[in-house]
Amino acid sequence: MASAERLPAPLPATAWPASRSLATAAGAAGTAAVLGAVGWLVVAAAERPSTLSPPSGRGHLPHAPWVLGPLRGLMPGLTSARGRLHTDLMVVLVVAGGGWLVAWLAAPALGTRVLLAATAAAHALLFLGPPLPLTDIFNYGLYARLAAVHGLNPYRDLPVQAMGDPLYPVANWHHLASPYGPLFTLGTEALVPLGAHGWYWAWKAVVVLSSFATVVLVAALAGRLGASQARAVAALGLCPLLLIAEVGGFHQDTPAVLCLVAAAWCLVRGREPAASPWADRSAGALAVAAAGIKPSFAIVVGIVVLGATRRREALAGAAVVAAATLLVVTTVYDGVLPNLRTQGSLVTPLSVPNLIGLGAGHGGADPAVRDWARWVLVAVAALATALVAVRRERALAALGAVLFCAVLALPWVMPWYLVWSLPFIALGRPRLLAPAAVLVTGWLIVGGLPQLPGFLHHLGYYPTRTATGYANHVEFQRLVR
């Protein structure tokens, strides 16, 4: 009895409901902030050709209406001042980023279904709008049309050889042979018969559906792993880098990431006692398919194979898709591989290798610094693969860690690259990357702002005044002229 008297008094019955109501309100406010920011940006970008949608202002004005989409003209009072639009964009990113963090923290109180519905709504808005950050979607279309329409090899011939193509004025990599995977290029060629405009909308559908399917699959994975499904959905589905940078730009990472997350699903499914060998075969096959779409993902194929319960089955699945990919390369593209070397020589001002190169007196990420960064990433991937060989249950954490390190090691880093590792971070694999992902999100957003040159100049950093920076500038201008 005396022992019982020393127990603390129970909380009032109203304490927990009040706390939950507060969390629900916070989650709803955060989610609304993300949706409101995305909605405003999409409608504003669709109003007229502007800096909010760079492709809409390229080429000739007749291209603009079909690029802007059906939401065109809904915001006639929008300013035309470039500086004001840049400021508005920064506000949007800050609001979306803050809303994402709040929604992520309060997600369990809001519920998985509500967050999935919000994610679906954001994806639908982005599908109706124009491309937001860059012109990559039209580069994809032009590379596909090089082979399907012009009889050229996108891995050997240059887009400038198809200057008369309707997509040429709105593309920009005019002097760069394709750096994209053969399975991706072959798949986009299949959409070419739809015409230039039909291809544009079909590819937008592929990106949006792939991205939303990835969010759903991550939620299902979280349920199997005992993690919070709601938090996983909020962490991935409401992230501004996924919505505004990745899906908003209709980039080709989304189908590759979907394949990789599906491979992770198969690994987890394969651990169950009654699982079919097909789960492990599919894991290996999907990992190689991801690399066939996005060659950078080849670095994690070994992790997937060694993370399988039946490694021989996973290796067999990987071998089948690898053979099919090789067949595509040799028979369709004359054995020419994606041009990764040229793009790998480019540098963005705030990339980690470039900052290290500046600090080390190299003037930025010169060839020596880029080689160093590449070997560091190879070492990290080798260590992670070796750990998975010993403990296969660490496969998902290894995938997240290696893909996260890849973002830090790349000299040419774009904001949406964090999406490579974000599904695994959303699952808490590994947990320590969650706060790091928040910091890197802010860093990547700043690195992608149109105001970046002005910010850097204000700090006394002029990227093109070093020999390395100037060489990078000249090479970039050569590729896009």
- pTM here? 0.93
Banded pLDDT at 1 (limits 50, 70, 90): very low
Which residue reads 């759903």 in tokens? 216
Grade residue 448 by pLDDT with cuts at 50, 70 and 90: confident
Between 110 and 449, residue with greater pLDDT: 110
Nearest-angstrom CA–CA distance, 246 and 418: 9
Q: CA neighbours within 13 Å on the CB side: how many for 318? A: 25
Using a pLDDT cut of 70, give the percent of the chain over it. 94
- Cβ pair 314, 280 in contact under 8 A: yes
3-state class (DSSP) for residue 190: coil
The mean pLDDT value of the chain amounts to: 91
Rounded Cα–Cα distance for residues 8 and 64 (Å): 68
Whether 443 contacts 413, CB under 8 Å:
no
* Least confident interval from 49-63, 168-182, 366-380: 49-63
